[in-house]
């Protein structure tokens, strides 16, 4: 079995509609998701991303998830 490392940088790509400002996450799980005004549509999953709408109208927004230095404290529950 191939060993997979899970330490690659996590990038979150959004597609932003300049008309209404809606941001749609790239992974829509194979569902066509439109922005509020309907000018931009995204249909994506882990294997492909399809974009609908005028190419010049959309903006690719890549958000890199920041990992906090201080780990979030775990809330332990005792039952
Ligand atoms: Zn829009």
Tokens representing 11? 């990038």
28 within some domain: yes
Is residue 49 a part of any domain in this protein? yes
| pLDDT (0 to 100) of residue 12 | 85
- Domain annotation covers residue 79: no
Domain coverage including residue 28: 11-64
Predicted TM-score (pTM) of the model is 0.63
* Cβ proximity of 35 and 52 under 8 Å: no
pLDDT value of position 73: 66
Does residue 35 lie in a domain region?
yes
* Ion ligand 1: protein residues whose beta carbon lies under 5 Å: 17, 19-20, 35, 37, 39
CA of 24 to the centre of ligand 1 (A): 10
Q: What is the mean pLDDT of the chain?
A: 81
Flag whether 71 is in a domain.
Answer: no
Give a yes or no: residue 3 inside a domain: no
Neighbours of 45 (CB within 10 A): 13
In a domain, 60, yes or no: yes
Indicate the number of domains in the chain: 1
């Amino acid at each position: 079995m191939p060993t997979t490392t899970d330490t690659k940088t996590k990038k979150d790509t959004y597609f932003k509609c300049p008309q209404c400002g809606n941001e749609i996450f790239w992974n829509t799980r194979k569902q066509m998701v439109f922005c509020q005004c309907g000018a931009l549509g995204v249909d994506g999953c882990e294997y492909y991303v399809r974009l609908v709408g005028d190419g010049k109208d959309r903006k690719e927004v890549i958000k890199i998830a920041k990992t906090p230095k201080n780990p979030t404290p775990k809330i332990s529950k005792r039952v």
